[in-house]
Structure 1
Amino acid sequence: MLVRIAGALLAVLACWQLVVWALQPPRFILPGPGSVIAALAEQHHYLLTNAAITLLEIVLGLFFGVMAGILVALLVAGLPGFGQIVWPLLLVLQALPVFAIAPLLVLWFGFGLASKVVMASLVIFFPVASSFADALRRTSQDLLDAAALTQATPLATLFLIRVPSALPGLGSGLRVAAVFAPIGAVIGEWVGASRGLGFVMLQANARMQADTLFAALIILAVLTIVLRFLVDAFAARLTPWVQAS
């Protein structure tokens, strides 16, 4: 996997450099890879300090979004009446563009960390809740019939039969959430922030410092890839029988 990623990265850098050589665009429109690497080296303290803020927002948003998604999925599966009332509301919330929600979150929670964490949590919440709830609904009927023969209570059936069977679905939701988490945090920073990679991008764009903008994007991409690898490893440990099969 790492070899493939490295190969793809080298191919992108080569194509990027060829485009710069061929078209020779102004540096403020498309800097070359060398300029971006120089910006990373020269501004590493500034970039990494802001990257740490964005990473904190991502991790907190991922935690709260995943916990909320799991809780709602369990309630939807365990209480059908709850699902009939709440799920349509969640669909409406998910249909709203995130840019429409972000200004309200900044207004309600301020320009600090809280609004970005809530934004990331909202972006993450629905993929986790949807994947897990769908997996809970698709529990094998044979397993449910076997549980009924033992006179297991609905609560015991949910946690001892349906939840373990639905863990692969939860893993799929976590993998999607790992990719969406940085998006939510950066969108929150774009709307209103004084720190973070999103703030760096806005400032660099306003000053036509494309090399700094690309440097921030590269750091964000690296954070996303690392987060996805960590979530993949966690999901593999969560469902070892899937890997074995």
Structure 2
Amino acid sequence: MTSMFKKGWKPIAVLILLLFIWELAVKLADLPKWLLPAPSSIWEEAVKGFEQFLPHMQSTIVLATVGFVIGCSVGLVVAIALHLLPGVREAIYPLLILSQNVPIIVLAPLLVIWFGFGLLPKMIVITLVCFFPVTIAALGGFRNTPSEMKHYMLMAGASKIQLFSKLEWPNALPALFSGLKISATYSVMGAVISEWLGAKNGIGVYMTLASSSFRTERVFVAIIAVMILSLLFFCLITAGERQFVKWGRKEER
């Protein structure tokens, strides 16, 4: 705990300084709340409207969690298939790169036209956001397996499946968790974007209603909530990494 505090006090100090400058600048310039609220006004709105905001946050958490699990599962399956089937990788990999060049904001209205306002288009949006980092990270981990270890296992008579399960999969875990961390933060953003497709609850809905009524302090509350949720998701994946990749941390020491 002490070491964490020693490492973390500098960004906390910078954050406090930025908030102080922000508060002072708003007060001195006498800016209206609808243009730029002061941090104190945002905090006041967060405390006062917490009960109203809580159902929206819970809805986004559920949506982001389910979408994250589905997206990462799809990404991992795709990575394993592309790794074990080189011919398929040569045909599909360029299409994966192209899929990330389609703006989600542009794709979202099309998904509503094709699949309606239900849960499916929302899951598609989050899956598209989450699967790519996992796929790329896992593929990189599989490819970075030491070649001498591969030769040793092949000389010992290991099959392709044994080579994958006993060597390539464990070796790819650190890289895989790096991809999961990225997807964890993206999942909250993807959930908020998907809620713009016509959800009844969620941080995206709360943000849209607040911006349309010029309640800028509520927009900032929603933004801060998204940042906090993304950080929490990241920390959970980091905690899981410490449990499953203990050997990697020992080597670092």
**TM-score, length-normalised on structure 2?**
0.91
Q: Which residue of 2 aligns with 1:104?
A: 110
Q: Choose which of 72, 77, 84 in structure 2 pairs with 1:66.
A: 72
CA contact (8 A) 1:54 1:186 kept: yes
Q: Choose which of 37, 48, 57 in structure 1 pairs with 2:43.
A: 37
What is the identity, as a one-letter code, of the residue corresponding to 1:162? E
Q: Deviation string for 1:41-60 (max 9, x for gaps)?
A: 22112211001111111101
Quote the offset at 1:97 in angstroms: 1.1
Distance 1:178 1:83 in 2: 25
Q: Which residue of 2 aligns with 1:130?
A: 136
Distance 1:20 1:190 in 2: 30
CA contact (8 A) 2:189 2:226 kept: no
Q: Deviation string for 1:188-211 (max 9, x for gaps)?
A: 122432221011111111100011
Matched, 1:239 2:239: no
Q: Deviation string for 1:71-124 (max 9, x for gaps)?
A: 111111111111112212111111111112212222333323332222111101
Secondary structure class of the residue paired with 1:195: coil
**Where do 1:64-213 residues align within 5 Å?**
64-213=70-219
For these two proteins, the number of residue pairs brought into alignment is 245
Secondary structure class of the residue paired with 1:95: coil
CA contact (8 A) 1:73 1:130 kept: yes
Quote the offset at 1:13 in angstroms: 1.9
CA contact (8 A) 2:185 2:230 kept: yes
Q: Which residue of 2 aligns with 1:228?
A: 234
Query: Percent of aligned positions with the same letter in both sequences?
Result: 31
Distance 1:55 1:40 in 2: 18
Secondary structure class of the residue paired with 1:115: helix
Secondary structure class of the residue paired with 2:196: helix
Distance 1:42 1:188 in 2: 27
Structure 1: runs of 5 or more not aligned: none
CA-based RMSD:
1.6
CA contact (8 A) 1:31 1:210 kept: yes
Structure 2: runs of 5 or more not aligned: none
Q: Deviation string for 1:128-150 (max 9, x for gaps)?
A: 00110111112110110011111
Distance 1:243 1:59 in 2: 27
Secondary structure class of the residue paired with 1:200: helix
What is the identity, as a one-letter code, of the residue corresponding to 2:230? T
Distance 2:59 2:118 in 1: 10
Matched, 1:13 2:19: yes
What is the identity, as a one-letter code, of the residue corresponding to 1:25? L
Distance 1:217 1:41 in 2: 15
Quote the offset at 1:8 in angstroms: 4.2
CA contact (8 A) 1:57 1:113 kept: no
Distance 2:72 2:50 in 1: 31
